[in-house]
Amino acid sequence: MSETPSSSLITDVNDTAFDYDFFVIGAGSGGVRASRIASQLGARVAVAEELYLGGTCVNVGCVPKKLFVYASQFREDFDASKGFGWGHGELSFNWQTLRDNKTTEIKRLNGVYNNILSGANVEILHGRATLAGKNSVSVNGTNYKVKHILIATGSWPRKPTYQGAEYTIDSNEFFYLETLPQKVIVEGGGYIAVEFAGILNSLGCDTELVYRGELFLRNFDNSIRHFVAEEIRKKGIKLSFKQQISSVQKNNDGSLTVNIKNSAQNEEDRNVTVDAVVTAIGRTPKTGNLGLEALGVAQKTDGSIIVDNNFTTNVEGVYALGDVIGRKQLTPVALSEGMALARHLFDGQPINMDYDNIATAVFCQPNIGTVGLTEEEALERGYTLDIYKSEFKAMKHTLSGLDERTLMKLIVDKNTDKILGAHMVGPDAGEIMQGLAIAIKAGATKAHFDSTIGIHPTAAEEFVTMREPVG
């Protein structure tokens, strides 16, 4: 399908031939933002949601994950405090308290999203919506005539296919575990798997991460990948690369026996008995049983919906954005896409989404923050590079006694001095990277960084004090 913008803009609203000007299927980040903006621009808008308001991020993604990360960090903080003179008795942790307090907060946020939509005069329909024909949507047996339909149904955890996969727990179910496992395997090599392994390990679980590849975090800078592997090994997580789960068997006592195949030479397969297997092996677009095929909406082989630069499908009046189109599966991206589409349809504004230099964070322990090109990507694009690196022990750990180190890296175009990428592993990496993302988006050079006076004493100042390239 063409990736060029549509030649015409549709800005008329309140057409009496339709029940709604804009009908959104899915009340996640992108769908809520698009519906709210469209309504503010005068459109009659409805949103249909069959599960929960706020989508993956609020309910089984960013929000509960970050709350669990906070909880898991306290154990190390308590240990670190001893070097600063603090004493405390025996620590105890109650999983049910964390889980239930998290659920209470999510219910509060569901209410916030309900109020946002209601306050914007968006009608909320609770139920499964499907495409019922051209300009037609069906919800709970009722058909609605709709001028513009937006599919923003997000993505869903991919389930493994090996024998006994039904005994595993996916990333959605993880947040509602009845009990905290004492011994657990996390399967996967993406950022979700790495984050979950860190949470479980820091909460006191005997944790092993199993990944079929040679090294996890496949699209991150190689320096970052290797450094993170070293750091989380030091924290007690067992990393089993080039290994793959082949089957899971449930035992009479409720434990699981996991058969793990090893692709390394001269390494035998093994069986491990654990309390739980948490799978984070990727996500797939949530496009099943929406009526896409009957209406002829084009999809890729992975199920993602094909759209042009204006988020328009090959079927007139049908649009899609967010995780369901398989581009950048990040909440802020879906928010930006939703706002852009609403303004395009109902205010005639052109869509100019820029997917370059999107900053991201991984809330493993220590955190990762990254923006721009990796060293490998920059070399593939033909740049001649200066690489700046700094590795050090943060001031806090000179007294904490903890063996944790920080890594910072800048990728610089040698010919123009322009910063192509910035990468960090260490405490508050995401917070630090947000500011750098603005600078890099604005075209900052290494000279700009060098002329900036650092905030002392902070780790962040290291980004403006790296003077000599290492490669």
Structural domain boundaries in the chain: 20-58+98-157+284-347, 165-281, 360-464
Q: What pLDDT sits at residue 179?
A: 97
- Residue 273: name the closest of 343, 183, 371 by CA: 183
Do the domains 360-464 and 20-58+98-157+284-347 match in fold? no
Q: What pLDDT sits at residue 16?
A: 78
Q: Which CATH superfamily is domain 360-464 in?
A: FAD/NAD-linked reductase, C-terminal dimerisation domain (3.30.390.30)
Say if residues 467 and 450 touch (Cβ distance below 8 Å).
Answer: yes
Separation CA 3–CA 249 (nearest Å)? 47
- State pLDDT tens for residues 178-194: 999 999 999 999 999 99
- Residue 235: name the closest of 79, 431, 62, 458 by CA: 79
Relative to beta strand 243-250, strand 238-241 is unpaired
Considering 126, 148, 423, 456, which one is annotated as catalytic? 456
- Residue 372: name the closest of 420, 439, 442, 424 by CA: 420
Separation CA 58–CA 296 (nearest Å)? 32
Relative to beta strand 155-157, strand 283-285 is antiparallel
Cα distance between the two ends of the chain: 41
Separation CA 179–CA 428 (nearest Å)? 29
Which residue type sits at 419?
I
Separation CA 49–CA 57 (nearest Å)? 15
Q: What pLDDT sits at residue 263?
A: 82
Q: How far is CA 208 from CA 211, 238, 274, 363, in A?
A: 10, 5, 10, 18
What residue ranges of the chain have pLDDT lower than 70? 1-14, 265-266
Which residue type sits at 245?
I
Q: What pLDDT sits at residue 254?
A: 97
Is there a catalytic annotation at residue 456? yes
Q: Which backbone phi and psi does 231 adopt, to 5 degrees?
A: -70, -40
CATH topology of domain 20-58+98-157+284-347: FAD/NAD(P)-binding domain (3.50.50)
Say if residues 455 and 447 touch (Cβ distance below 8 Å).
Answer: no
Separation CA 211–CA 165 (nearest Å)? 16
Q: What pLDDT sits at residue 268?
A: 83
Q: What is the CATH number of domain 165-281?
A: 3.50.50.60
- State pLDDT tens for residues 6-32: 433 445 566 778 999 999 999 999 999
Neighbours of 37 (CB within 10 A): 22
